[in-house]
Structure 1
Amino acid sequence: MEAHVSTGSILSETWSPSPDAGPVIAGIHAMLHPRNIVLVGATDKPGNYAERIWNNLIKYKYEGGLYPINAKRDTVWGVACYKDFASLPEKPDHVLVLVPARFAVQVVREAAAAGARSATIVTSGFSELQDEESQRLAAELEAAVRETGLAVTGPNCLGNLSAGEKLFTNIDDRAVSMEQGAVAIAGQSGAIVMAIRQALEDRGIGVGYMVTTGNEAGLETPDLMAYFAADPSIRVIVVYLEGVRNTKAFRDACKAARAAGKPVIALKLGTSEGGRAAAMAHTGALAGSIETFDAISTREGVIRVRGLDELIETTECFVHTEVPKGNRLAGVTLSGGKRGLLIDAFYSAGLNFAPLSEDASGKLAAMLGPGSIVGNPLDAGFAAVVDPSVYMKSIKIMIDDPDTDIVIVDSEFPKAPHELRERNIRIVNDMAGEASKPVIYISTMSVGFTEHTKGLRKSVPNIVVMQGLDRAVGAIRELIDYAALDKNVPDLVSSSTAQARSLLEKTLKNASGAALDEVASKKLLKAYGIPISKEAIAQTAAEAATIAKKIGFPVVAKVVSPDILHKSDIGGVVLNLNSAAEVKKAFSDIIARVKKLKTKPKLEGILIAQQVKADLELVVGASLDAEMGPVVLFGTGGIDIELVKDVALAGAPVDANEAKKLISRTKAGVKIRGYRGKPAMHEASAVKALVGLSNLIADANGRIASIDVNPFLINAKTGVAVDALVVLNNEAAKAAAGH
């Protein structure tokens, strides 16, 4: 029997990317809409990946050409088997690489030479393993992909789905609905991506594309996100991330999705130290802190979920409704107890049930009768016992009320045929179709979907159907927050001066240790516009006293050494010095303590600094995140910073407006703007410090690992940095950190 020969046409060519979309988007389109598929490594061995993928392509009736290749076989799976690419009846288009890892690089190069446009490398044995041979093969594969220009997913992946093409190059043997759904999924873990697809399908949500990216030797998850953002058939993008390798590509893809009005719902590995270690072991990804990921990705419109159940509910919420115009909730229930649960759950999430309009309240009161309580959410249970039509009429009044933005219906879908309930659900679906607001059914518990439930759910696309009150509330919160985002957020660039950048380059060129000492750190900060306390370095006790008199008492004495990162730990800081004698004694005491240290640090002198009276101690800082790049930090500082943990992060650089937003996300920000009758503090100095630090870490372009300004002291008249530490991103810094 001959293999399935294609007609030479792409089957579902309803959309094609524009010519200026670039080679990556064009390559992905070729991969998901190929003219033919070639399986290299075809074998009759029962249950192997090649056979399972072949069976799926036949089962779902892929209409393009299907060609197995195995140099040692004439037939396989009952069809003709080809020796090589040259013997195929047509030029290869999409190639599935199923040979052992040591042969994969050769196959990729030969496929490209034969005219293939894309490939999926199912084979494992590359960078996910730590041995020298696997790492060598990984490097060779990446070079081959780069040099040939093939659009490649994998290696170490489980295949893809393109529902419109009836293409399922995947090993999964569970039933798949080949409907061109509105959801696209991509991610590094094939098992998790396939589980997400199955769970969405079980809820009656169609998946148009599913791509497993594996080790990402070629295409990375952000590349797929950008493609899905451009494809008009997709409404919601779901991703599983073990790590972000290319921060710029990720952020650009998020911006493209946001501009297209498509939420990116992300399940991110690495919310714990153990999770970050697992990401390293699985794909070699270098995971950064989840707080940094949230700070940067949320600004770009990403919705990070904490687990698979939350992912499914959030996806359901975005697939079946447009974003609301506001946050005014209305709800209808038939139980006083459930009404209480709704109120508690939504109020705990910072959401409120809004007062109804006078017209809506009047209609409800007239319908419910004398003595009835018209509340929101409405408990219509008692009235519905007397008149069952009250329930549906109440829902309509809520939907029609111009003072509501989202209508919550406390009810679950039936597991078996139920004429009355199903008729009511369809009526509400019609109401929602005519309304310009989300209508959301919530089951307060997860009751599960039967085949009957799934069929019913598919028949009512205008309403959201959610399982589990807490997850539903979280998803609705995300829906409201997403609606409030601007579609287009401008990229921020450093606003530093040429003089500041020149000093930075000079300082970094001359730096040799793990960190800059306090004097050098503060000099750099001052150049970047960050307010610094009055201070000078002394080499003798007498010089220290003279400096103190010039600054004015009280002063602080601090050791200056690039080898001492935490001065307080060795007694290198003395506060509240109010006379020349006290300054001289502090100088001598610090020198003596340093000389007793076994490490024998380099001593550059003692810093005598103005002691600023502070109403609040802040921490401002910046760091280079392993995944997301430069970030800036603000929060409550001092010795209790780890205990209080009142900090917020943002991607760097920031402008004054972004800095103010960052400040407002903390309790420290509340105090700065005046709390419980206390006067406001000098917020402008904190804003200036944040902008300057963000410019500094951005300008360093990876050469500075972190900048710590703790404390930054602030009062009603001023704010100044009284301590600073710039840690360099060099071998000395890594050795000092124990790497």
Structure 2
Amino acid sequence: MDAPVSTSPRPWSPPPDASDVVKSIHAMLHPRNIVVVGATDKPGNYAERIWNNLIKYGYEGGLFPVNAKRESVWGVPCYKDFASLPEPPDHVLVLVPARLAVQVIRDAAASGARSATIVTSGFSELQDEESQRLAAELQQAVRETGLAVTGPNCLGNLSAGEKLFTNIDDRAVTMVQGPVAIAGQSGAIVMAIRQTLEDRGVGIGYMVTTGNEAGLETTDLMNYFVVDPSIRVIVVYLEGVRNTKAFRDACKAARAAGKPVIALKLGASEGGRAAAMAHTGALAGSIETFDAIATREGVIRVQNLDQLIETTECFVHAVTPKGNRLAAVTLSGGKRGLLIDAFDAVGLNFAPPSPGISAELGAMLGPGSIVGNPLDAGFAAVVDPTVYMRAIKLMIDDPDTDIVIIDAELPKAPHELRERNLRRVNDMAGEASKPVIYVSAMSIGFTDYTKELRQTLPHVTVLQGLDRAVTAIKSLIDYAALPKQVPDVASSSKPSARATLEKILKQAEGAALDEVDSKKLLKAYGIPISKEAIAQSAIEAIKIAKSIGFPVVAKVVSPDILHKSDIGGVMLNLTTPAAVGKAFADITARVKKLKGKPKLEGILIAKQVNADLELVIGASLDAEMGPVVLFGSGGLDIELMKDVALAGAPLNEADARALIGRTKAGVKIKGYRGKPALHEASAVKALVGLSNLISDAGQRIASIDINPFLINPKTGVAVDALIVLNNEAARQSFDKSTKGKSTKKGGGH
């Protein structure tokens, strides 16, 4: 038989002002024809599986196999090259060995192709020199040709509206344009997400596997899904964020369009490598920094695949709730208790029904009944089965509820009463302006019958597994509360502060700034610091102490000693000249005994500040997400308590106050259990200044650690500071301290 040629019109086109990337992705997902390069009749090969899927699902564009060594394959003519095709190539599937793939991309572009999917592996996922060279050549070819390219090392794509399935998966696909788009590096994971969502009755409009991302990245696909009017929910699998600004911009665009981004993010990044030498860097891992920045911009990060499925189901079928007031109906006292416990664990509660609804429920349930929320209608429903449906109707109609939860699951086989109730609730939900959500306490497998029944209930959400359901509902509530527009915050630093930054960084040597230079930078950026001066002799130290006023603190000053307390380089509560002189001598002697002979620049004599609370204020440069600021409980117990919160930098005052409010330290600052309120303004000023500093430094500072920042009712000051540089010396120091520890690299499949 002859290969089909293109006949179908394209159903949707990007607006004229769409970016070139969006237009190129549209060409990839809505091509005029598909050319399979590397076609072979070897049984079971990837090319044959993809071809069979294109035929099976009825792709209506042109389909052309290419192989110079074949005259026919799969029962159709096989073409020796692009010039032999009956029409110019549009989308090219590359299934030739890696060493040939680069030339195929160049030839395809020269012949008029607009996009390509490189299924072939053997590039950057391998560590040998030849594979790395081929990866670099492929990236260059993609840049020079301008093709929209997914892969290499990927498993193909789905565009349901085009009946296009350029994928090796032989599991059944529901080829109906759905509201969900999926993209990610791992073909196996993305394919599993598609299959499971379809089994749950959630339609998939697009599925794109990006593999090694030599061309298009997951972020680029997000931008396309934002523009496509058929997509309402975006699901992404992220092994890493390569372009922080582009990712954040895509998240903001999705939020502005009201399209939630549900992300499964893997692993700790290699970012913050040098920052691990400071407390801030050690506490601010990539997942925490991802959450701190991406969540603000509308990303819902899930922890596993099961949670992803429930959360996606929730956002696809639930209307936007107006608030967090929950109502629930169950037929079991035990289930009622489970619901209360599960939602309480995430800070959500069931409020009493409104007075009018309570009265109606009481009259309906009869004398002696307890009208509560969640409502246990079990006993009354046994006496009168209509009570159950009337109770649900009252809860949905209650003006004091925002979300109605029904404890039940879909039947696996025909059940007249349950099906009738389900359809009645579906009709009620369709008329309501609030989500109506069925929650099964356990996961129940969907039979073919269940799947068909689910398709007839478009207005209700069906969640499985109580903990996952609660997480999904909490995400729905949190997302609804976010502002549609996420404002950009720019650094508010003064020119004089930036000039000081440039001067100190230009003169800096070694892995870190010493405490003196660190505090010069802090002071330039408006961060209050303690009264202090550096001494080169015991006599000078005593003189400084007398001028500052006792008690004082003595601390070693050395760019080679990052944690002074660890080597006995800090001495507190010095109340006499003799104590200061002895401290100078003792610290100096300890430093001279250290291996490696660290450089000693002097001993810092500082006013000892009385504090009601020790805080940690820090910043670090995450390789994936950029500059991030940290705030929390500080002092010696910082690792033990881990009462910290993070936010992307820079911050304005409102952002800083919100960050403080996310910690237990913030509760103490407000005045806890009758204690006086502490000087929050100084902490706000320090956070804003520090966020400006890490932002202005660009890539030159890895981390800044102020621990402790001491605060009392009248003031707050930084009494210790460590600024680790993002340079070779810092990286060598990090590598030396982590020798023997493995790092994980992501793959494509």
Aligned counterpart for 2:32 among listed residues 30, 35, 49:
35
Q: Hey, what does 1:4 align to over in structure 2?
A: 4
Please state whether the residue corresponding to 2:17 is helix, strand or coil: helix
Work out the CA distance in 2 between the residues paired with 1:536 and 1:21.
58
- Which of 601, 615, 625 is matched with 1:604 structurally? 601
8 A Cα contact 2:184 2:209, kept in partner: yes
> More displaced, 154-163 or 227-236?
227-236
Residue in 2 that maps onto 1:538: 535
**Which residue identity lines up with residue 69 of structure 2 in the other structure?**
K
CA distance in 2, matches of 1:249, 1:272: 18
- Tell me the equivalent position of 1:704: 701
Structure 1 position 78 matched with structure 2 position 75: yes
Q: 2:311 aligns with which of 294, 311, 314?
A: 314
The answer to whether the Cα contact below 8 Å between 1:537 and 1:606 also exists between their aligned partners in 2 is yes
Q: Deviations over 1:288-319 (max 9, x none)?
A: 62111111111011111111111111111000
Query: Does 1:723 pair with 2:715?
Result: no
Q: Work out whether 1:576 is the aligned partner of 2:573.
A: yes
SS state at 1:19 partner: coil
The 1:417–1:271 alpha-carbon spacing in structure 2 relative to 1, beyond 3 Å, is farther
The 5 Å alignment of 1:264-275 reads 264-270=261-267
Change (3 A) 1:271 1:335: farther
Matched, 1:677 2:674: yes
Letter in 2 for 1:394: A
Q: Deviations over 1:244-295 (max 9, x none)?
A: 111111111111111111111111111699xx9xxxxxxxxxx962111111
Q: State how far apart, in whole Å, the 2-side matches of 1:106 and 1:502 are.
A: 50
Cα distance between partner residues in 1 of 2:580 and 2:407? 71
Please tell me whether the aligned partners of residues 288 and 627 of structure 1 are also in contact (alpha carbons under 8 angstroms): no
Residue identity matched to 1:4: P
The answer to whether the Cα contact below 8 Å between 1:328 and 1:406 also exists between their aligned partners in 2 is: yes
Per-residue CA distance 1:637-690 (angstroms, 9 max, x = gap):
111111111111111111111111111111111111111111110111111111
Which of 367, 371, 384 is equivalent to 2:368?
A: 371
Offset, 1:434 = 0.3
- Partner of 2:735, secondary structure, is coil
Separation in structure 2 between the aligned mates of residue 295 and residue 309 of structure 1, nearest angstrom: 23
Name the TM-score, length of structure 1 as normaliser: 0.97
Letter in 2 for 1:2: D
The amino acid of 1:731's aligned partner reads E
Aligned: 1:248 with 2:232: no
1:668 corresponds in structure 2 to 665
**Length-normalised TM-score, structure 2:** 0.95
Deviation at 1:20, TM superposition (A): 1.7
Instruction: State the secondary structure of the residue aligned to 1:314.
Output: helix
One-letter code aligned to 1:640: D
For residues 69 and 440 of structure 1, what CA distance do their matches in structure 2 show? 51
What are the within-5 Å matches in structure 2 for residues 189-228 of structure 1? 189-228=186-225
The 1-side partners of 2:684 and 2:700 are apart by 24
1-structure distance, mates of 2:656, 2:496: 23
Partners of 2:403 and 2:624 in 1: how far apart?
A: 37
Shift of 1:508: 1.2
Check whether the contact 1:270–1:288 (CA below 8 A) recurs between aligned residues.
no
Match of 1:435 in 2: 432
Pairing partner for 1:422 from 419, 424, 429: 419
* Distance (whole Å) between structure 2 residues aligned to residue 44 and residue 235 of structure 1: 40
Q: 1:496 aligns with which of 489, 493, 497?
A: 493
Structure 1 stretch displaced more, 656-665 or 165-174: 656-665
Counterparts of 1:464 and 1:231, CA distance in 2: 24
The 3-state SS of whatever aligns with 1:705 is strand
Q: Work out whether residues 288 and 626 of structure 1, in 8 Å CA contact, stay in contact via their aligned partners in 2.
A: no
User: Which residue of 169, 173, 181 corresponds with 2:170?
Assistant: 173
Matches of residues 266-285 of structure 1 in structure 2 within 5 Å? 266-270=263-267
Give distance in 2, aligned partners of 1:507 and 1:86.
Answer: 61
1:322-341 mapped onto 2 (5 Å cutoff): 322-341=319-338
Task: Give the AA of the match of 2:98.
Answer: A
Equivalent residues of 1:619, 1:708 under 8 A apart:
yes
- Give the Cα–Cα distance (whole angstroms) in 1 for the partners of residues 647 and 269 of structure 2: 20
Deviations 1:29-75, CA, capped at 9 Å, x for gaps: 11110000011111111111100000000000000000111011111
Distance in 1 (CA, whole Å) between partners of 2:142 and 2:63 is 23
Aligned equivalent of 2:16: 19
1:63-119 CA distance string (max 9 Å, x none) = 000011101111111101111111111111111011110111101111111111111
Matched, 1:464 2:461: yes
Q: Confirm or deny that 1:50 pairs with 2:47.
A: yes
1:115 and 2:112 matched: yes
Aligned to 1:521: 518
Match of 1:129 among 126, 130, 143: 126
Task: Supply the AA of the counterpart residue of 2:305.
Answer: L
Q: 1:328 to 1:640 in 2, by over 3 A?
A: same
Shift in Å, 1:2: 2.4
Q: Which residue in 2 is equivalent to 1:279?
A: none
1:407 alignment partner AA: V
Which of 583, 591, 599 is 1:594 aligned to?
591
> Residues 366-399 of structure 1, C-alpha deviation per residue, up to 9 Å, x if partnerless?
1112221111111111111111100001000110
CA deviation map 1:11-43 (0-9, x unaligned): 4x1x32112211110011111100000111111
In structure 1, how many angstroms separate the alpha carbons of the residues matched to 2:176 and 2:656? 46
Rate the CA distance shift 1:239–1:421 in 2: closer, same or farther, 3 A: same
Report the residue type matching 2:3 in the other structure: A
| Counterpart for residue 276 of structure 2 | none
Amino acid at match of 1:510: Q
* Inter-CA distance 421–330: structure 2 relative to 1 (3 Å threshold): same
Residue 229 (str. 1) matches residue 226 (str. 2):
yes
SS of equivalent to 1:252: helix
- In structure 1, C-alpha distance between the alignment counterparts of 2:553 and 2:37, rounded to whole Å: 73
What is the letter of the counterpart of residue 251 of structure 1? R
Q: What is the aligned length?
A: 724
Cα RMSD after superposing both structures: 1.2
Secondary structure of the residue that 1:447 maps to in structure 2? coil
- Runs (5+) with no aligned partner, structure 1: 277-286
Aligned partner (choices 88, 93, 96) of residue 96 of structure 1:
93
Question: Counterpart amino acid of 1:214?
Answer: G
Q: Distance in 2 between matches of 1:373 and 1:600?
A: 76
Q: Which residue in the other structure is 2:739 paired with?
A: none
Which residue number in structure 1 is paired with residue 711 of structure 2? 714
Q: Are residues 397 and 173 of structure 1, via their aligned partners in 2, closer, same or farther at CA, if it must alter by over 3 Å?
A: same
Aligned pair partner of 2:476 in 466, 474, 479: 479
Q: Tell me by how many angstroms 1:10 deviates.
A: 3.6
> 2:179 corresponds to which residue?
182
SS at match of 1:332: strand
Name 1:388's counterpart in structure 2.
Answer: 385
Whole-angstrom CA distance in 2 between matches of 1:677 and 1:330: 36
Residues in 1 aligned to 2:573 and 2:598: alpha-carbon distance in whole angstroms: 26
Task: Answer yes or no: is the 8 Å Cα contact 1:10–1:34 preserved in 2.
Answer: no
SS at match of 1:299: helix
Cα distance in structure 1, aligned partners of 2:628 and 2:134: 34
**Using the alignment, how far apart are the partners of 1:22 and 1:44 within structure 2?**
40
* Cα pair 1:10 1:33 within 8 Å, conserved: no
For residues 613-641 of structure 1, what are the alpha-carbon distances to aligned partners after superposition, in whole Å with 9 as ceiling and x for unaligned? 01111110100112111101011111111
Provide Cα deviations, 1:336-378, integer angstroms capped at 9, x if missing partner.
1111111111112211112211111111111112221111111
Q: Secondary structure at the match of 1:385?
A: helix
Deviation at 1:598, TM superposition (A): 2.2
1:305 aligns with 2:302: yes
Per-residue CA deviation, residues 404-435 of structure 1 (Å, 9 max, x unaligned), is 10001111110001111111101100000000
AA at the equivalent of 1:614:
A
CA distance in structure 2 between the aligned counterparts of 1:105 and 1:509, rounded to whole angstroms: 43
